[in-house]
Amino acid sequence: LQNLSQTPVLRELLKEAKMPGTRVKIESPELSMEPQLIKLDQPGPLTLAMYQFLTEMQETKKGVVTPKELFAQVCKKAIRFKGYQQQDSHELLRYLLDGMRAEE
């Protein structure tokens, strides 16, 4: 999650995603692709929780940030994470990103 919080494109897209009906232009100078214009729908609860968490990580001065709401939303999409059993971080990342993509 710390790595995702340092991904400017993701943070900007999540900021834009808060407002349904927004059109976002995605450009990638490194990939030399044509710019794409995407219309965003109403974000789902997992996407909103991710936005809230990343915003809190970027703006907070209190030091420790807990992803309680984000984790609750991930658990709704992937029951295997309930119960606080030890899981691989790459599995959590996959379920988180797949869950956000499914809410598109």
Concatenate the DSSP letters of all residues of 36-94 into one string: EEEE-----HHHHHHHHHHHHHHH--SS----HHHHHHHHHH-GGGTT-----HHHHHH
First to last CA, the chain: 20
Q: What is the pLDDT of residues 44-99, one digit of tens each?
A: 899 899 999 988 888 867 678 888 999 899 888 888 777 767 777 888 888 888 88
Q: State the pLDDT at residue 69.
A: 93
Domain extent, residue 25, equals 1-102
Cβ-proximal residues to 65 (8 Å cutoff; 6+ apart), any chain: 53, 56, 57
Dist. CA 50–CA 34, nearest whole Å: 28
Q: State the pLDDT at residue 4.
A: 86
Q: State the pLDDT at residue 81.
A: 78
pTM over 0.75: no
Q: State the pLDDT at residue 49.
A: 92
* Secondary element (H or E) of residue 69: helix 68-77
Q: State the pLDDT at residue 60.
A: 65
Question: How many domains does the chain divide into?
Answer: 1
**Within a 10 A sphere around the Cβ of 70, how many other Cβ atoms?**
21
